[in-house]
Structures are given as structure tokens and as C-alpha cells.
Amino acid sequence: MTPASDCEAISTVGIAQPVNSLTGAIFVIVAVLLIGGVVRHKMVSAAIAIAIGIAANAVGTVAYHGYPSALSHWIHDLALVMLLGTVAGWHLGRIRDQRRRPDPATTTGWGNRGAWIATAVTAVVGGIAIAITHDATTPLAAAAIAAIGIGEFLARRRGLPAGFGWGLGAVVLVALGAYWVGRSDSPLCDPDSLLQFHGLWHVLIGVAGFVWADRALARLGPGVSSGVGRSLTDRVAGGLATVLVRAFHREVDVTGRHLIPSDAPVLFVVNHGNGFVDPLVVAATLRRLPRFIAKAALWKILPARLALNGLAVLPVYRRSDGDDPHGNDRTFAATTTALARHDRVAIFPEGTTADRAGLDTIRSGAARIALGAADAGVTGIVVVPVGLAFESRVTTRSRVAVHIGAPIDLDEWRTHEYSDRSETAEPHRETHHLTDQIREALVEVSPVYDSVDEREQLRLAAAVSLQAEHGTVPGFAAVEGRAALMAQAPDDERAEVTETLAHHALRREMVGLSDADLMPGPLRRGGLRLLLAAVTITVLGPVLATAALINLPVIIAVQLAVMAVKETATKGTVRLLVGLVMGALVWWVAAMVLADGPVAVAATMFGLGIISAIALATWDWVVDGFAIIRMWFRRRDRAQLVTGLEQSRSLVAAAVDNALASARRPDTHSRVDPGLTITSNIPSSLAPLNGGDDDASTTLTPH
């Protein structure tokens, strides 16, 4: 066998087969990840033996396809045999361990020894045999594969965790298919193409090797976070969530991030008012994906099932969805294991999403998760409340405020706040009290108003007063904080705020100016914004025009989809999902038209995505530029009316100050009744975690 048999044309200058050679870099990445996993105590030492075999494959692949010779051929074949031998040694070695363990951390004994022994044996025996004849490669590889199969079978018979699963098997089968269609005698062979199936074989085998090692060799005991692959996936998903949230929102204000413990099992409880957008914002805030809990009904949709499983989302089974709640036993066990590993778990305890003025009924699932893990021996659990507030669920480039509240230390709460664990204590009483505590914590960080109308009025009044006070456009977190405080003022004070706001809004409509136009120094600031808009149009004009033309079908589809949805809380989800799907489809069609060849099409799609992101980020500057020009003319033509508008704004600011002062007075009682407690008629621990059933829900009753 020579490199010529792997389809790609051999160059006489430089690297013989550039694609087949350079794709061997995947093995270097995998080896580094595995070594890093051992160093960070995420993987057992057998991962080093696997990393040696994979690193040898990197050397062999680059040498064999880049600089063909008898030596590079020997390195290439020996590396493959070594890697297979190491895996076979681990499989055969671990079956000596007769104990059944719940986690695949069974490689600390003979699994490790078997891997290292097999690495040494195959390096010596394989090196000699292949040096004598390259024909020895096939029988040696076949023997190693047979040993892997036997070891896997025997290990399963002895109750040990599986090293291979259906997903990994599918990847290996696709890799083998890529290998065979990448042969020179294949009808799909194109020697001059940048898409080489043999290179794809390298990539898939590298991925499969990493997935297998991460699954089989990860340390998943208490206090140790999940494996390298899970951690990497969570961080990548968090990065993608950040990109999406930043693309669809003009501003994301996060307060209280320092309150999140860095090294403790954390359960996040989050209000749920904007559908699928909520978990994205949470993941973007944490910069990684936590273990979300979602209703099991989502798993009935095949594409959603694949995504949810890949992201390790945990299902909650609800009778209202036609599910068997007994499945929640597995979810409780999974959350306990995750917290024991210091993973982060996130739940929306309201159970449903809607554009509400305040919180819905808080289900007891969050409390039962935390208390169940604590009863199972997990210490140091911290419950962190997270409040999400959205300026608009309909507008594409709106603003978001994320308020992280004071954490609840479960051990301390049990010691000082709740200590009634006597035999005569009411069943589930501790769960009810902790649920009550969680609700109070969520009230502190979430939007809580009498009505949606009041929420919007108080937010607008807060924005007007902040602009008058500071002379700048306030951040949404500051607006929401001031509005939420005003919501606790007496009725007459809030009525005065809304009355003066209505008068101010009428004057503003008459004059045709916004509150931002009344800020000091409009000419200077407006000149800078106009200059920025002019530069944007001049430099990025072709980019903006191209992006607008290409993405016009996306814009139309998103607008029609949002208009078709009546539920406000669903509009954000629809806008996001339709935008992603239609964007990918439109970019793919445009790339197929503009480019030729798979690699060129992929590169063009990526370029269109970058152009669209730039256009979306800079479009506000262009809009601001035209708004500045309009503002200048209106201020000049209606100068006499501006004074009255400034006076009405001052009245709004004064009314807001009065309401804030009243809300801050110790004798002013919060409209959230402190006498409310959580009761529940949950019959057993099998009730759904985050609600939906009449016989398994929590209700608010005064005591």
C-alpha cells in the first residue's frame, strides 16, 4: 500500500498529499486534550497510553502522506496497531475487576495496567513484525479488533459500563465508509479535489478515539467534574449561545455575577418568561452550558431529541403531557450525580413560559432536587436565583437584564432556617419551606408587577427619570431596577407616576422628539453619532447592501412567523429559530450559486454569516445617523415646544423620585405578601419536577 492508493494526487514539490497529510493534525489535538484531561484529574492514566498511540498516529499520518518512504510507512502502520492494541489491552484488563460500579471509573486497576502493557507489547512485537513485512499490519490490527470485541462483550456480561455505544459505533461505521470511498479505485475519487474522503477518515477516527477515551477513561466520581468532552461541549455551547444572544439583542446587562460560587455544586433557579430564549441567555451569562431540565415532551420531536441528548439536557416527565412520572427517578439520580461532580444544574421552577407581570406558581422540583442531593451525601450545595428581564420579546435588537441574586447555602439554611426533622414533622414540610425560600429569592431578582401595562409604564418612567438625572441613555438593568423598586411604592404614588408619564408622552408626541433628544449637548453627541454612521455607510456600505439583499428572504420569513404567533412569550423563540433555520438555508443557497465545490461553498457560507453579523451589529449606527438628522431639524423648527417638553419630563422625574422614596421607607410594605407559604399535595417523590399536574403542583396559600 502506498499513499497513491488513497486517491489524492501526489505532488512532486513539497508535501506529497497536502489534504491527507494535514488532516492528521486532528490526532495532535486529541492527544493534547487527553493529556490535559489527565493533568486536570478528569481522566485516569490510561488516557496517557491512548494519547501516545494517537500522537504516534499523528506522526505516522503526516510522515506517510507528506513524505512517503519505507520509514514513514513503518511508523504509519505501527502507530495504528499500537493504538488498537492499547484499546484492546484496556478492554481485556478491566474484566479482571469483578466489582460493579455505577460510573465508568473502573479503569483505575487492571484497565490501566492492561492499557500500558498492551502499549509496550504492541510497540515491540508490532514494530518487529511490520519491519519484517508490511503485510503483518492487517492480521495484527484484526487481532486487536477481535480482542476489543471480546473484552467489550465480557465486560458487559460482568456488569461493567459499556466502552462503545450506538452513537460511537455509527461514527466508526461512517469513518470506515469514508475510508473505502476514499480509495483510488472508488468512483467518488477526485485526485485534485480539496475534499478527500481519506482525510475525512482521519478526522472521524480522531473524533471517535477522543469520544471513546472520554467516555471510558473519565473520572466521574464525586467532587470531580464531568469528562473532557462534556466540559468542552458545554463551553462550546456556551460560546454559541453568547454569539446568538449578542446577535439578537443590542445589550445584555448582567449584575451579581460575582455571587456565583466558582467551586461548589450550584443549582440555578430562573424565572421563565421568554421561551427558548431564556436558556440561551442563561448559558451566555454562565459562559457555558449547565445541565438544564426540560419537559420530556420535547423528546418526542426527533431533531429536538438529538439536540437535547447531545447537550445533556435532563427530561422531566409530567402527567399533563401524557408522560409517566416514574421516569423522574432517573432525572433525580442524574441531578444528584451532576451536583456531586460540581456540575451546574439549571431549572425553571415556574414550569411554563408566558409574558407575565410577575412570577407564576413555583413548583417544588428545585427544592426536591437540592434536598434529594443533600440527603444523598452531596455537601456544599448552593441555590442561586437568576432573574431575566427583557425590554421586548418582539423587537429583534432589544435589551436584556440578568440579575443574579444572593445564593442560598443549603447546608446553612438547613442548620439555621429549618431544623425540624423530627419523626412527627409533616411529610414534605422541608421541601415546602425551601420552595418558599426559593420563591422569595426569585421575587428579589425577577420582574414583579401588578400587570403587564404597569410594567411597561414604570419601565418607561424609570428610563425618562434616569435620562433626566444622568444625561445619558441608561442601561436596561438600571431601568429595570428602578422600575421594580417603584412597583413596591403605594398605589397613589404609582398613580402619580403613570399620570405624569401620560402627560409627558402626549407632549412628546406633539413635539416629535424622544427623551434621548433632550439630553445635554445634542449637537456634539449627535455629530459624533452622525460621523460614525457616515463612516459606516462609506466603509461598509457594500457589505450592508449585500447583506440586506441576501438576507431579505430571512427578514420577511421572520416577520411573517412572528406575526403569526399570538403568544408574546413565544415570539422570541420563533424569531430566533426561524432566523437560524432560514439564515442557514438562504446562505447555503447563495453559496451554491456563488461558489463551486464543497470547500468553496462552506467558506462562502461562513463568509455570508460574518457579513450578516457585521451588518446586524452596525445597522443601529446607520439608523442613529438618520435619526440625528431628523432630530436636528425638529429641534430647530419646534424650539418653543422643547421647553414645555423638558418641564413635563421634570414632572415625571419628580414623581419617580417620590415613588422611590416611598418604596425605600421601612414602613412601606412590599406588595409581595411575606405571609405566603408554599403548600403542595405531592403524593410522592415521583411527582413532576417543574409542574403541570393538578395532583402534583404547588399553590400559594396564606398561613
pLDDT for res 197:
92
Check residue 621 and give its pLDDT: 65
In DSSP terms, 268 is beta-bridged to 346, 384
Q: In this predicted structure, what is the pLDDT of residue 615?
A: 76
Residues 6+ apart with CB under 8 A from 185: none
The torsion angle over the Cα atoms of residues 154, 157, 162 and 168, rounded to 10 degrees, is 70
Q: How confident is the model over 5-24, as pLDDT tens digits? A: 889 888 877 888 999 999 99
**Is 372 contained in some domain?**
yes
The answer to whether residue 378 sits within a structural domain is yes
Q: Are residues 396 and 486 in the same domain?
A: no
**Could you tell me if residue 446 is inside a domain?**
no
pLDDT tops 50 at residue 691? no
What pLDDT was estimated at residue 409?
93
Task: Give the pLDDT score at 5.
Answer: 84
The rounded distance, in Å, linking the Cα atoms of 57 and 178 is 18
Give the count of domains, the chain: 4
**CATH number of the structural domain spanning residue 373:** 3.40.1130.10
If one compares 677 and 648, the residue with the highest pLDDT of the two is 648
Contact 489, 660 (CB under 8 A): yes
Q: How many helices (H) and strands (E) does the chain have?
A: 24, 10
pLDDT value at 453 more than 80: yes
Distance CA 102, CA 108 (A): 14
Domain that holds residue 241: 230-422
Q: Is residue 551 part of a domain?
A: yes
Whether 681 is in a domain gets the answer no
Q: Are 314 and 291 in contact (CB under 8 A)?
A: yes
Question: How sure is the predictor about 668, in pLDDT bands with cuts at 50, 70 and 90?
Answer: low
The pLDDT assigned to 39 comes to 87
Q: Assess whether pLDDT exceeds 70 at residue 632.
A: no
Whether 530 is in a domain gets the answer yes
> For the residues 248-255, what does the mean pLDDT come to?
89
Residue 257 CA to residue 386 CA, distance in Å, equals 10
Mention every residue, 6+ apart, whose C-beta is less than 8 A from residue 352. Answer: 272, 360, 691, 692
How sure is the predictor about 521, in pLDDT bands with cuts at 50, 70 and 90?
A: low
Instruction: Report d(CA 196, CA 183) in Å as an integer.
Output: 10
Q: Which of 189, 220, 251 is the last residue of a domain?
A: 220
Provide the pLDDT confidence category of residue 106 given band limits of 50, 70 and 90.
very low
Is the pLDDT at 684 greater than 70? The verdict is no
Which cell is 506 given?
Answer: 402626549
Question: At residue 101, does pLDDT exceed 70?
Answer: no
| Mean pLDDT to the nearest integer, 71-93 | 90
Predicted local confidence at residue 374, as pLDDT? 92
What digits encode the pLDDT tens for the residues 314-327?
988 887 777 777 87
* Of residues 288 and 693, more confidently modeled: 288
Examine the pLDDT at 92 and tell me if it is beyond 80.
yes
Q: For residues 471 and 333, which has the higher predicted lDDT (pLDDT)?
A: 333
Mean pLDDT of 362-386: 92
Instruction: Give the type of residue at 488.
Output: Q
369/573: higher pLDDT = 369
- The rounded mean pLDDT for the chain is 82
Are both 502 and 532 inside the same structural domain? no
Q: What is the pLDDT averaged over residues 564-572?
A: 79
Buried b (16+ CB within 10 A) or exposed e, 270-301: bbbbbbebbbbbbbbbbebbbbbbbbbbebee
Q: What is the pTM of this model?
A: 0.77
Determine the Cα–Cα distance for residues 14 and 34; give it in Å rounded to an integer.
Answer: 31
Regarding whether 538 and 633 lie in a shared domain, the answer is: yes
Residues 239 and 384 in one domain: yes
Confidence at residue 628, expressed as pLDDT on a 0 to 100 scale = 66
What CATH number is attached to the domain comprising 167? Answer: 1.20.1070
Question: Does one domain contain both 405 and 550?
Answer: no
Residue 520 pLDDT level (bands cut at 50, 70, 90): low
Range name among 196-200, 358-362, 536-540 with the lowest pLDDT average = 536-540
Torsion of CA 179, 185, 190, 195, to 10 degrees: 0
On whether both 462 and 566 belong to a single domain, the answer is: no
Output the CA–CA distances (angstroms, integers) from residue 51 to 113, 116, 136, 214, 232, in the order listed: 15, 11, 24, 11, 17
Considering the domain architecture, whether residues 196 and 243 belong to the same structural domain is answered as: no
Mean pLDDT value of segment 529-540: 68
Kindly tell me if the per-residue pLDDT of 569 is higher than 60.
Answer: yes
Beta strands 676-680 and 291-295, pairing class: unpaired
User: What share of the chain in percent tops pLDDT 90?
Assistant: 35
The total number of residues shown for the chain amounts to: 703
pLDDT band at 372 (very low <50, low <70, confident <90, very high): very high
Q: Which of 345-354, 369-378, 384-393, 507-516 has the lowest mean pLDDT?
A: 507-516
> Do 622 and 652 have their domain in common?
no
- Mean pLDDT over 383-396 rounds to 90
Shared domain for 54 and 180, answered yes or no, is yes
Unique residue bearing C-alpha cell 466540559? 231
Neighbours of 592 (CB within 10 A): 13
Structure confidence at residue 528 (pLDDT): 60
Highest mean pLDDT among 213-217, 334-338, 517-521, 674-678: 334-338
- Kindly state whether residues 508 and 532 are assigned to the same domain: no
Residues 472 and 410 occupy one common structural domain: no
Residue 334 has pLDDT above 50, yes or no: yes
- Answer yes or no: is 690 within a domain: no
Weakest-pLDDT range from 117-126, 273-282, 445-454, 563-572: 563-572
377 φ/ψ sector (left φ>0, alpha ψ -120 to 50, else beta): left
Please report which helix (H) or strand (E) contains residue 688, including its range: none
Instruction: Tell me, yes or no, whether 677 lies in a domain.
Output: no
3-state helix, strand, coil in the chain (%, to 5): 65, 10, 30
Do 86 and 179 fall into the same domain? Answer: yes
Max CA separation in the chain (angstroms): 99
- pLDDT of 702 over the 60 cut: no
How confident is the model over 441-461, as a mean pLDDT?
A: 92
Of residues 215 and 52, more confidence is placed in 52
Per the model's pLDDT, the better-predicted residue between 375 and 596 turns out to be: 375
